[in-house]
C-alpha cells in the first residue's frame, strides 16, 4: 500500500508563536492538496530556535488547544510538529508532537541537548527520558519520533527500529557550522550519510525535516529528505531555501527489504543488553551483575 509524506521545510519566526501557527496552517493546506497523509514540520517550528529566556514565554502544554487546532480540520491527516513543551511539573522540553485530527497521539522530548560549540540548548531546556514508538495504524504502522541531535546517537533510531518502527521521523533545526566554505557542505554530507546508514541498518524509511532561514548570525541549512527502507532517496529538498517536498512510500518495499535483509530479525538484543550492563558497571567501577536484570 502506498502513502505520501510531505516535508515542510520552512523558516519559523523567532518567538512569534501566532505568526508561526499561521505559517504552518498555510503549508499544511498546501501539503493536503498534494495528497499527503503525514505532514512533517521542523524542530521548534512553532517558536524558532535561539530562544534563550523566551522559553517560558513560548512554551505550551501538549494539550494546548492551539496545537489541537492544527490539522483539526483534516481528521485523517497526521502532523508532526516541533514546539516547546511545558510538562505538568513545569519542565520545559524541546518536543515533537504527533497529531491526528487535533488529537495528540504521541510526544517525543528531545533526549540529547547539544551544549557545545555553537549550541547552548542544555542551559534553557530539559532533556527527555523516553525512546518510544507509536502505532498509527495502516498504512504507516509504527512511527519513531526524534529531534535533531537525537540522531547523532545511534541508540535512538536503532532502538526505535527494534521496537517495531516502520517509519522514523526526525525533525531538526540544524544551523550550518561553516556555511561559507566546503567544510559546511562536508558537515551536511555527514548528516545525510548518517541517515542513509540508519535506514539501511534499521531497514526502515526515514522522514527528515530540517528548517531554513537565519537567526542572529546562524544560517539553517534545510536539505530535508525522505529515504526508503533500503537507504535510497525518495525525495530531497534544496539547501538553504524554503520548500515543500512530497514523496511516496510503499509498504511492500519495507516488507520485502526486511525479508531480503533480515537484520532486525537477526538482532541479538539480550547480547547487547548484557554487554551494555557490563560496560555501565565497568565505567562506574562497580562489579557486574551476575544475571541480566
Partner 1 sequence: MTDPEATPLPAIEPAQAVDVIVGFIRAQMAQTGFGRIVLGLSGGVDSATVAFLCARAIGPEDLLAVRMPYATSSDASEADAVRVVDALGCRTERVEITPMVDPMLAVISDGDSPIPSDALNVRCGNVMARQRMIVLYDRSVAFDALVAGTSNKTEALLGYGTLHGDMAAAFAPIGDLYKTQLRSVAAELGVPSEILDKPPSADLWPGQTDEGELGRSYDALDRTLFALVDRRWTLDRCVRAGLDRELVEWVARRVARMEFKRQLPPVAKVSLRTPGIDHLYPRRRPGSRR
Point out which residues bind partner 1 (CB under 8 A): 14-16, 50-54, 176, 179-185, 213-217, 219, 240
CB of 19 to partner 1, least distance (A): 9
Is the CB of 118 or the CB of 256 nearer to partner 1? 118
Is the CB of 198 or the CB of 220 nearer to partner 1? 220
Is the CB of 217 or the CB of 260 nearer to partner 1? 217
C-alpha grid cell for residue 172? 531538526
Measured between alpha carbons, how far is 17 from 4 in angstroms, rounded to an integer? 28
Is the CB of 57 or the CB of 252 nearer to partner 1? 57
Angle at 206 between CA 205 and CA 209, to 5 degrees: 155
CB of 118 to partner 1, least distance (A): 12
Is the CB of 112 or the CB of 220 nearer to partner 1? 220
CB of 182 to partner 1, least distance (A): 6
Q: How many CB atoms lie under 10 A from the CB of residue 101?
A: 15
CB of 267 to partner 1, least distance (A): 39
DSSP-assigned states of every residue in 85-102: EEPTT--EEEEEEEEETT
CB of 23 to partner 1, least distance (A): 13
Handedness of CA 149, 150, 155, 157 (dihedral sign): negative
Measured between alpha carbons, how far is 105 from 173 in angstroms, rounded to an integer? 23
If phi > 0 it is left, if psi is from -120 to 50 it is alpha, else beta; for residue 203 that is: left
CB of 18 to partner 1, least distance (A): 9
Is the CB of 183 or the CB of 256 nearer to partner 1? 183
In the beta sheet, which residues pair with residue 167?
143
How do 233-236 and 225-227 pair as beta strands? antiparallel
C-alpha grid cell for residue 126? 530539559
Amino acid at each position: 500500500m502506498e502513502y505520501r509524506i510531505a516535508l515542510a521545510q520552512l523558516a519559523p519566526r523567532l518567538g512569534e508563536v501566532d505568526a508561526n501557527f499561521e505559517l504552518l496552517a498555510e503549508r499544511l493546506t498546501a501539503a493536503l492538496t498534494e495528497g499527503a497523509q503525514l505532514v512533517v514540520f521542523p524542530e521548534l517550528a512553532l517558536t524558532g530556535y535561539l530562544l534563550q529566556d523566551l522559553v517560558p514565554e513560548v512554551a505550551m502544554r501538549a494539550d494546548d488547544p492551539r496545537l489541537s487546532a492544527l490539522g483539526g480540520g483534516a481528521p485523517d491527516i497526521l502532523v508532526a510538529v516541533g514546539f516547546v513543551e511545558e510538562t505538568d511539573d513545569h519542565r520545559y522540553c524541546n518536543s515533537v508532537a504527533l497529531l491526528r485530527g487535533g488529537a495528540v497521539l504521541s510526544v517525543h522530548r528531545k533526549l540529547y541537548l547539544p551544549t557545545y560549540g555553537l549550541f547552548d540548548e542544555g542551559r534553557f531546556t530539559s532533556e527527555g527520558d523516553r525512546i518510544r514508538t507509536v502505532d498509527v495504524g495502516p498504512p504507516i504502522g509504527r512511527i519513531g519520533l526524534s529531534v535533531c541531535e537525537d540522531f547523532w546517537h545511534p541508540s535512538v533510531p536503532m532502538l526505535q527500529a527494534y521496537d517495531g518502527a516502520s517509519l522514523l521521523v526526525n525533525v531538526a533545526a540544524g544551523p550550518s557550522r561553516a556555511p561559507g566554505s566546503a567544510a559546511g557542505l562536508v558537515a551536511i554530507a555527514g548528516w545525510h550519510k548518517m541517515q542513509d546508514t540508519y535506514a539501511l541498518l534499521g531497514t526502515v524509511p526515514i522522514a527528515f525535516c530540517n528548517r531554513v532561514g537565519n537567526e542572529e548570525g546562524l544560517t539553517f541549512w534545510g536539505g530535508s529528505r525522505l529515504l526508503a527502507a533500503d537507504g535510497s532517496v525518495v525525495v530531497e529538498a534544496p539547501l538553504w531555501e524554503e520548500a515543500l517536498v512530497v514523496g511516496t512510500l510503499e509498504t511492500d518495499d519495507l516488507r520485502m527489504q526486511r525479508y531480503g535483509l533480515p537484520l532486525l530479525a537477526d538482532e541479538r538484543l539480550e547480547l547487547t543488553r548484557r554487554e551494555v550492563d557490563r560496560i555501565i558497571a565497568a565505567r562506574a567501577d562497580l562489579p557486574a551483575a551476575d544475571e541480566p536484570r
